[in-house]
Amino acid sequence: MKLLTFCVSGVDLLRGRSYRILDPSRRLKGIRGVGTALTFIGLSVFYTAVFVVLGIVERASNGWGFGGSFFRSIYFGGDSVLEQAIAVLCTLLFFFFIGAATAAVFVRWRQREMLLFFGILGALVLAVIALLSLTGSWPAVGSFFASVGYAGGYALSLIPTALAAVAGWAILRRATPRTS
């Protein structure tokens, strides 16, 4: 129970009081949302550290004495601790910032534009799949991901993560608060 209280207090600290300390937008009027980005990064680093440490303990204890696998349930390439950390950190950052950008679309434009956003996104994904299938480029895609390696594949997810962070900031920059 104390560990849960500590974790919740740490999250509250990152979300609450330290937002004012960490957010330079209080002094620099042109930069907004830095506190949110720092919160996402801080939480990702914290959860990655917990995940990796518990994965090491799990490996050393042979799955907590039962041969089970919880913190190492995802395939981690060569099972290097660094690869595990990169995979978890990139995944957490990706979902934090993609989620924030998607939520920003909803906050700014509501339901109709969310349907439009996901419709366009689905059409783009289908167009890329069709293009790769019709041109027979799937082997080239596979060899590219094989050449960048396991950790490199996760590191590539930082590109859409950064794009989502900038898009979320740009969308919310001019959003007006609504009561409904």
> Taking the mean position of all CA atoms in its chain, how far away is CA 4?
23
pLDDT tens sequence across 95-132? 999 999 999 888 888 888 899 999 999 999 999 999 99
Q: Is 80 left (phi over 0), alpha (psi -120 to 50) or beta?
A: beta
Whether residue 63 has pLDDT greater than 50: yes
pLDDT tens sequence across 77-91? 556 888 888 889 999
Task: Tell me the pTM.
Answer: 0.74
Q: How far is it, in rounded angstroms, from Cα 8 to Cα 55?
A: 21
**pLDDT at residue 28 in the model:** 47
pLDDT band at 7 (very low <50, low <70, confident <90, very high): very low
